[in-house]
A = this chain, B = another copy of it.
Amino acid sequence: MSEKLNKLKEAIAEVADLNRAAALLGWDQQVNMPAAGAEARGRQLGTLGKIAQEKFISDEIGKLLEDLKQEFSDADFDDAAMIRVTARNYDKAKRVPPEFVAEQALVSSKAFEAWVQAKGMSDFSIFAPHLEKVVELVHKYISFFPPADHPYDTLLDDFEPGMKTAEVQAIFDALRPKQVQLIKAIKASRQVKDDFLHKKYNEKKLMDFGVDVITKYGYDWSRGRQDKAPHPFETSFSVNDVRITTRYEADNPMAMLFSTLHESGHAMYEQGINPAFERTALAGGTSLAVHESQSRMWENLVGRSLPFWEHFFPAFKKTFPSQLDGVSVKSFYKAVNKVEPSLIRVNADEATYNLHIMLRLELEIAMVERKVAIKDLPELWNTKMHEYLGITPPNSARGVLQDIHWSGGAIGYFSTYALGNLVSAQLWEKINKDIRGLEDQIRRGNFSELLAWLRKNIHQYGQKYDPQVLVERVTGSKITAEPYVRYLTKKYSEIYGL
Contact = CB atoms under 8 A, between A and B. Distances in A.
A18 interface: yes
A40 B28 contact: no
A36 interface: yes
A48 B35 contact: no
Given A20-B44, A21-B21, A33 B241 contact: yes
Nearest to A223: B36
B279 A41 contact: no
13 contacts: A13-B43, A17-B48, A21-B21, A21-B22, A21-B47, A24-B25, A32-B225, A32-B227, A34-B222, A34-B224, A36-B241, A37-B223, A44-B237
A51 interface: yes
A37 B238 contact: yes
A41 B222 contact: no
A316 B37 CA distance: 33
A284 B41 CA distance: 17
A240 B33 CA distance: 10
A138 to B, nearest CB: 29
Given A34-B221, A37-B238, A37-B241, A43 B17 contact: yes
Contacts of A47: 13-14, 17-18, 21
B20 A237 contact: no
A273 to B, nearest CB: 13
A325 interface: no
A220 to B, nearest CB: 8
B17 A21 contact: no
A278 interface: yes
A198 B249 CA distance: 43
A6 to B, nearest CB: 16
Nearest to A220: B36
A39 interface: yes
Nearest to A55: B51
Given A17-B48, A25-B21, A225-B32, A37 B237 contact: yes
Contact of A20 (B14, B40, B238, B241): B40
Interface in A22-60: 22, 24-25, 28, 32-37, 39-41, 43-44, 46-48, 50-51
A39 B240 contact: yes
A40 B225 contact: no
Given A14-B51, A17-B47, A21-B48, A238 B32 contact: no
Contacts of A225: 32, 34
A224 B34 CA distance: 6
A292 to B, nearest CB: 25
